[in-house]
Amino acid sequence: MCRSKTGGYYRMIREKIIRKLRVEPGKRITLKKFETGWAQDEELKTYDKDAVKERSNEILEANRLTLATSQELLWANNTHSVLIILQGMDTAGKDGTIRHVMSGINPQGCRVCSFKVPTPEETEHNFLWRYSRDLPRRGEIGVFNRSYYEDVLVVKVHPELLESQQLPPGKRGGRFWDARYEDINAFERHLVRNGTLIMKFFLHISRDEQKKRILERLETEEKYWKFSLSDLAERSYWDQYQKAYETMFAKTSTDAAPWYIIPADYKWVARTLVADIISSQIQALDLKYPVVSPEQLTQIESAREQLNNE
């Protein structure tokens, strides 16, 4: 079945979907209730999937153009920065999403940082230190491929990792983790107050899809390099991770810096949604090209005249 659809119709559905993906501040959600598949909307499921995919690619393309313009405005204004945080289980598609969503924008105004296991130098400092070093400057879009949220995810699932963090002695129970969520919220509030627009995305894949993707890495020569034995090890902690994510959403999705749970079993769905949210949120800043002063205008006119008379 393929019914005809207009741009307005898709816009309405997109807005409805995006509202559903946003985690309400303070709300405890259950990840199992969030789809990993291609639609969060019953109505959309009744439409022909190829047609939706085609339309989705058009939207992605349009969003790339909008993003390019928004980035130019961001750069010209030099008052705001954008911080995009990507989290997800191994193979969730963080790298691919970055590549696709950011492909149209000027590399000069964009920085992508991937965070791995902290180095000894990094653990010499507070846990937020290494992330604050890599924050985007005013005018820039910064993408964090993993982030300080790892310090309440992988570290919470494997609390023995805390032993290498050189922390002062103390209990590592609920209060310890609550303090970390609180620190993260305070850190983000500080950034938002200083002109950073923060968007946090969780790429939500199913356990079956992860199996498929890991197998792909094991069966395709060109993908061997992507495989890490730790992917398999971490997979066995699937439920613990899902639980850590659920608590993290409840504690750190705020009005100022919301979390979005992105269905990611289909890469095109995830990419379109992420691009759509980023592009609409930057547009909502309503940035305009800086107005030049009358003196600058006189200088521009005289420079133009000078060149034309050469």
Q: List contacts with Mg ion (CB under 5 A).
A: 90, 228
DSSP state of 39: -
Matching residue, tokens 């604050």: 132
- Whose Cβ is closer to Mg ion: residue 46's or residue 228's? 228
276 near ligand AMP, judged by CB under 6 A: no
Q: Which stretch binds ligand AMP (CB under 6 A): 16-24, 64-72, 151-159, 249-257?
A: 151-159
According to CB under 6 A, which one of 18, 135, 161, 256 is a site residue for ligand AMP?
A: 161
Matching residue, tokens 């991770």: 241
Beta-carbon count within 10 A of 45 CB? 12
Q: Is residue 142 within 8 Å of 134, Cβ to Cβ?
A: yes
Per-residue binder mask for ligand AMP (CB under 6 A), 119-148, x = binder: ---------------------------x--
Judging by beta carbons within 10 Å of its beta carbon (0-12, 13-18, 19+), is residue 19 exposed, middle or buried? exposed
Q: Which is it for strands 259-263 and 110-114: parallel, antiparallel or unpaired?
A: unpaired
DSSP element (H, E) containing 36? none
| 100, interface contact from Mg ion, ligand AMP, none, CB < 5-8 Å by kind | none
Q: Is residue 195 within 8 Å of 142, Cβ to Cβ?
A: no
- Whose Cβ is closer to Mg ion: residue 217's or residue 243's? 217
Matching residue, tokens 């339309």: 55
117 near ligand AMP, judged by CB under 6 A: yes
164 near ligand AMP, judged by CB under 6 A: no
Q: Which stretch binds ligand AMP (CB under 6 A): 63-71, 76-84, 116-124, 291-299?
A: 116-124
Q: Is residue 80 within 8 Å of 287, Cβ to Cβ?
A: yes
112 near ligand AMP, judged by CB under 6 A: no
DSSP state of 22: B
According to CB under 6 A, which one of 140, 151, 209, 265 is a site residue for ligand AMP?
A: 151
According to CB under 6 A, which one of 155, 269, 275, 282 is a site residue for ligand AMP?
A: 155
Residues that bind ligand AMP (CB under 6 A): 90, 114-118, 146, 150-151, 154-155, 161, 230
